[in-house]
Amino acid sequence: MASLNVEIEQFVATVTLDRPPVNAVDNATLLEIRDVFTRLGREKDVRAIIFTAAGTRAFMGGADLEEIGSAANQEPEYITDPGKVARDAMWAITDCSVPVIGAINGPAIGAGVAFAACCDMLLAAENASFGTLEINVGLLGASAHLSLLVGRHKAREMFFLGEKVSAAEMYRLGAVRKVVRSEHLIDEARQLAARLAEKSPIAMRLAKESMNRVEGLPLKEAYRTEQDYTARLMNYEDSREARDAFLEKRPPEWRWR
């Protein structure tokens, strides 16, 4: 692939965006993101994914402005709806069957904020920042994604002013799990991913699917949906194995059944 590097080790996939100088995404890169996260979500040997970028100048420096408004390729769906390629890439992360950790190694600008918001949890380097700067260049961006990270009023403040917010402030607001020195970011992400990979892969996939489905639902409907997913999970042998291992104080042995 031209813009993404993928490594899989100990049930953890690391997807690294590498598109110098600032990892701005063009249509081809968006298609790569779509395909990679869709494929990894179908792999039994992948239980968690780290999404990061090369270098320290940016996690994702927004969209490649030279490609704004162009068709992604000759597929009719992207010719008639050029924005669909970005949505498909984002939803591939949101809907990926396993948890995705965003390891934000530098500024996440515009589309970078949207892709960070699509991840399930975030770690950030000290030099990282977050900003929807589109209004400064005559565009509008992903305010809905920004609202998921920081809430209604802070999102409007950042969106209307086109300002960047530091990783430390995003941590204070609860959007980022931890802020670390740049050289420790990937190690921290791997430790977190390893903890996720220890869980039942069936339970984790059902947990993510259920959380995606209940997000935004009224409380009663959301909780009923979660109960239905719990009932589904209890039909699996791995569910019983989780309880047995807990009671017997031993590591569980997942059998995918």
Average pLDDT over residues 199-207: 97
Contact yes or no for 7/14 (Cβ under 8 A): yes
Q: Return the pLDDT at 82.
A: 82
- Computed over every residue of the chain, the mean pLDDT equals 93
User: What's the pLDDT score for residue 201?
Assistant: 97
Same structural domain for residues 102 and 215? no
Q: 109 and 225 in one domain?
A: no
Asked, for residue 255, whether it belongs to a domain, the answer is no
pLDDT of residue 74: 63
Q: With bands split at pLDDT 50, 70 and 90, how would you rate the model's confidence at 46?
A: very high
Mean pLDDT of 150-163: 94
Same domain, 159 and 48: yes
Do both 41 and 163 map to the same domain? yes
C-beta pairs of 170-178 under 8 Å, 24+ apart in sequence = 170/122, 170/124, 170/130, 171/124, 173/149, 175/122, 175/130, 175/149, 175/150, 176/104, 176/122, 176/123, 176/124, 177/121, 177/122, 177/123, 178/123, 178/124
Least confident interval from 81-90, 122-131, 175-184, 240-249: 81-90
Q: How confident is the model at residue 68 (pLDDT cuts 50, 70, 90)?
A: low
Query: Domain range holding 206?
Result: 201-248
Predicted model pTM: 0.94
- pLDDT of 39 above 60: yes
Q: For the beta carbon of residue 55, count every other beta carbon within 10 angstroms.
A: 16
Residues 157 and 237 in one domain: no
User: For the residues 100-104, what does the mean pLDDT come to?
Assistant: 98
- Domains in the chain: how many in total? 2
Same domain, 227 and 113: no
**Candidate from 47-61, 128-142, 154-168, 242-256 with smallest mean pLDDT:** 128-142
Q: Taking the mean position of all CA atoms in its chain, how far away is CA 232?
A: 25
26 and 120 both lie in a single domain: yes
The whole-number pLDDT of residue 70 equals 58
146 within some domain = yes
Stronger pLDDT, 149 or 64, i.e. the higher one: 149
Residue 210's φ and ψ, nearest 5 degrees, are -70, -40
- pLDDT for position 63: 79
Domain check: are 70 and 41 in the same one? yes
Residues of the chain with pLDDT > 70, as a percent, come to 96
pLDDT class for 73, splitting at 50, 70, 90?
low
- Is the pLDDT confidence value at 98 over 80? yes
Residue ending a domain, choose from 156, 173, 197: 197
Q: How confident is the model at residue 137 (pLDDT cuts 50, 70, 90)?
A: confident
Task: With respect to residue 143, please indicate whether it lies within any of the assigned structural domains.
Answer: yes
Q: d(Cα 79, Cα 201) in Å, to the nearest integer?
A: 38
Pairing of strands 129-131, 164-166: antiparallel
pLDDT of residue 77: 84
